Structure 1
Amino acid sequence: MGYGFGSAALASVVLFSWLGTNVRALFCICAVVVIITASMTLRGAKEQQLRLPEDIRAPTVRQVMKRMWHGIKNTPKPIARAFWVQFWSYFAWDCTFIYGSDWMGRVVYGGDPEADEDSPEYRLFYDGVTAANLGFLLMALISIGWGLALPWACRRCPGGIRVVWGACLLLLCILLFSTTAVGEGQRGQAVFLFALLGFPKAVAYQIPWSIVTVTLAADGQEQSSTASQYDLGLGNRRGLYTTIFNLSQASPEILVSLLGGPCIYVFNGHLTSVLVMGGLGALAAVGLCVRVLEPPTLYNRHASDTRKQSMEMPPVHTDQEASSQPVQSLPAAV
């Protein structure tokens, strides 16, 4: 919905014409949506007030930091390995989302956001940002469809989630490297590249978090083979490990913010260099994807293979079952 509103000419609608620009109209819509949803939450959510017993003291800052550090060092292997794949994946995504619209307006459309608002250069940049949002809208639609098909693809693929995840990350890498071949005036090609980002985007939203949730859920099954194989011992630290994994998506944005400006400066102001830098991050994620540990119960892939093998095997009768079968007598000789 956000990309859809971003690609529409909201300022030309009578309801938003008094705001003057699309950006103001978008901010106005976002503010109204936040007010409505927050009011619904405060009105409808039932919350029970919790009181700590008097004999329990709140942990100190040092204890909290020590617990976090201990959690980072003892993160289960499936989550730890998925962490670094997601880290470099989001490094590529942050390069795309922070600089993608600007790249479309400057490089592809040849516009200039610092020009006068009535100048053709400013209008071209404005049209480029609108086209970028259209590409991101198509990306979101493709992401929805591919996300629904991902469980089926992971079950059918011989290599499992490693192959599916790695292939989509490789596609992300190729698409970001392909921006070097898109020049001014090639608007359709640029929108098409942005639309294809929907395939790796669906994977980034689904597979890593599926690994986290399945790995943590295995702790509740004391006799499960998954818990014994990975020796989780998570106890009540599920929230901590979920928070730690969330750093794989939050921290890359800081890194991109620190490296993006110097990268553009080194390459004489070419925004394409930042997207190529994101492609290198996606390439690193592809290499790390080989080491990902796939939980056996994820998408029921191993369970479906077991059922398939059991259906293909012929029934085996034991001696006891054979002896219990009724014996048909031969016809008497005449």
Structure 2
Amino acid sequence: MLMVFLTFCTLVTLYFADEIPLNVIESRHLSDSAPLLNDPLQNSLELSKSEFHAPGLDNLSGNSTNNDSELSLNSNHANSAGRQNETFNDGPGAVLVNLLTSLRHLPPGMHSVLLVMALTWLSWFPFFLFDTDWMGREVYHGDPKGTSNEVMLYDQGVREGAFGLLLNSVVLGISSFLIEPMCQKLGSRLVWAMSNFIVFVCMAGTAVISLISVGEYSEGIEHVIGGNAPIRIASLIVFALLGFPLAITYSVPFSVTAELTADSGGGQGLAIGVLNLAIVIPQMIISIGAGPWDALFGGGNIPAFVLASVCALAAGVYAALKLPNLSSTSFSGFHFG
């Protein structure tokens, strides 16, 4: 079934995606190994040498030697400076330097976009890391290190979580067709803010579901062994609903960035690179800090989901108040992911 769905997505992409050919720009880069005879400066030096060393002009040989030395030194200095500049521009650290220095020259609205993007991904990564584990532990009450029965329950929960991710992908694919008309009608600012509010509700819902499920299990209710049916259904609904804001997260921020930097003279690629920093930095923060954060409150996945809901709420409020108002007709359906 998964292969059929992936094949369907591939066919839809091949049919609807417009192919834009890239214009090849020939580089005018001069290699250090270029023949010196092709260097105009070197040719002029050779010409000056032949003129100053003509027969009958021996009294000028001293001056010509000095002139040759000065020209040679100037030529070597210019070549050395050019090589150093070329090494800096083409070196591996140039990309990172360009990304960091570009933060000072971003359009005014880009700083709000970066902050909303960082808060958005701070709310998403706990779900990405702990979604199936949450199903196995809090919903099915299993334990991967417990008894054989607890391990079996945990495996069932993980498989149920994988099915929830399938539902999430289906909703994400369908929602992708709705993003462009929504942005044209409501504006990308409201659409992005709305997606964060949906994430807030869903993340808060996972915390509520966890508290109810763990509470019933701790009271020793027999029918919750292996997960209460309404709790399992509610969990799958949360998985499916999160596909809609995830589709927005994969497309709208990049379209907003491209629109804000449209007049930057080729700086869109660099702005997208800076925007990616607002993704990877939250990922590193969650990857390093989620474990100690959960352990601080006694373990489990509830603390991480509560933190995710708070970040999503902050992202939604800030997006609604501070994101720049772009023309609703300028959204071009730029998709990522």
TM-score by length of 2: 0.65
* Aligned mates of 1:95, 1:142 — CA distance in 2: 20
Query: Mind listing any 5+ residue stretches in structure 2 that lack a counterpart?
Result: 4-23, 32-81, 214-226, 333-337
Alpha-carbon separation, structure 2, partners of 1:195 and 1:62: 42
**Larger gyration radius, structure 1 or structure 2:** 2
CA distance in 1 between counterparts of 2:278 and 2:115 reads 7
Contact 2:120 2:315 in 1 (8 A): yes
Aligned residue in 1 for 2:30: 53
SS at match of 2:249: helix
**2:231 counterpart of 1:203:** no
> Which runs of at least 4 in structure 1 moved beyond 6 Å after TM superposition?
47-51
Q: Does the 8 A contact of 1:86 with 1:208 survive in 2? A: yes
State the shift of 1:62 in Å.
Answer: 7.0
Once residues 26 and 286 of structure 2 are traced to their aligned partners in structure 1, the CA distance between those partners, rounded to angstroms, is 40
Give the 5 Å matches for 1:12-51: none
Gaps of at least 5 residues in structure 1 are: 6-46, 220-233, 301-334
Residue 241 (1) aligns with residue 247 (2): no
Whether contact under 8 Å (2:188, 2:256) holds in the other structure is no
Q: Cα offset for 1:109?
A: 0.6
Which one of 134, 158, 161 corresponds to residue 129 of structure 1?
Answer: 158
User: CA offset at residue 52 of structure 1?
Assistant: 3.9
In structure 2, distance between residues paired with 1:155 and 1:65: 35
CA distance in 1, matches of 2:259, 2:189: 16
**Partner residue of 1:140?**
169
Q: Cα gap change, 1:178/1:62 in structure 2, threshold over 3 Å: closer, same or farther? A: closer
Amino acid at match of 1:191: L
- Superposition deviation, residue 51 in structure 1: 8.4
1:179 and 2:156 matched? no
Contact 1:115 1:121 in 2 (8 A): yes
How many angstroms apart in 1 are the aligned matches of 2:117 and 2:100?
Answer: 20
Instruction: Work out the CA distance in 2 between the residues paired with 1:105 and 1:236.
Output: 48
Question: By how many angstroms is 1:80 displaced?
Answer: 2.5
Q: 1:74 aligns to what?
A: 105
Cα separation, 1, equivalents of 2:199 and 2:315: 10
Counterpart of 1:53, as a letter, is L
Aligned equivalent of 1:120: 149
Q: In the alignment, which of 279, 283, 293 is matched to residue 263 of structure 1?
A: 293
2:278 partner amino acid: S
Q: What secondary structure, in the 3-state scheme, does the structure 1 residue paired with 2:316 have?
A: helix
CA distance in 2, matches of 1:155, 1:66: 36
- Cα distance in 2 for partners of 1:274, 1:172 equals 14
Closer/same/farther in 2, CA of residues 121 and 89 from structure 1, 3 Å limit: same
- Match in the other structure for 1:95: 126
Equivalent residues of 1:169, 1:286 under 8 A apart:
yes
Query: What residue in structure 1 maps to residue 34 of structure 2?
Result: none
- Counterparts of 1:287 and 1:202 in 2: how far apart (Å)? 19
How many angstroms apart in 2 are the aligned matches of 1:240 and 1:180?
Answer: 38
Quote the residue 1:156 is aligned against.
185
1:221-247 deviation line (CA, Å, top 9, x unaligned):
xxxxxxxxxxxxx33433222111111
Task: Determine the C-alpha separation between the residues in 2 that align with 1:146 and 1:103.
Answer: 25
1:250 aligns with 2:242: no
For residues 226-281 of structure 1, what are the alpha-carbon distances to aligned partners after superposition, in whole Å with 9 as ceiling and x for unaligned?
xxxxxxxx334332221111111111111112221121111111211111111111
Deviation at 1:162, TM superposition (A): 2.1
Rate the CA distance shift 1:48–1:154 in 2: closer, same or farther, 3 A: closer
Go from structure 1 to structure 2 and tell me whether the alpha carbon gap of 1:125 and 1:240 turns closer, same or farther (over 3 Å shift).
same
CA RMSD of aligned residues (A): 2.6
- Give aligned-pair identity as a percent: 26
Distance of aligned partners of 1:165 and 1:238 in 2 relative to their CA distance in 1, 3 Å threshold? closer
- Count of aligned positions: 239
How far did residue 161 of structure 1 move?
2.1
Deviation of 1:190 (Å) = 0.7
Match of 1:298 in 2: 330
CA shift at 1:50, angstroms? 7.0
| TM-score normalised by structure 1 residue count | 0.65
2:197 to 144, 148, 170: 170
Q: Name 1:26's counterpart in structure 2.
A: none
CA distance in 2, matches of 1:50, 1:142: 45
**Partner-residue secondary structure (3-state), 2:145:** coil
Counterpart-to-counterpart distance in 2, 1:161 and 1:235:
23
Of residues 287, 298, 301 in structure 1, which corresponds to 2:317? 287
Cα pair 1:173 1:279 within 8 Å, conserved: yes
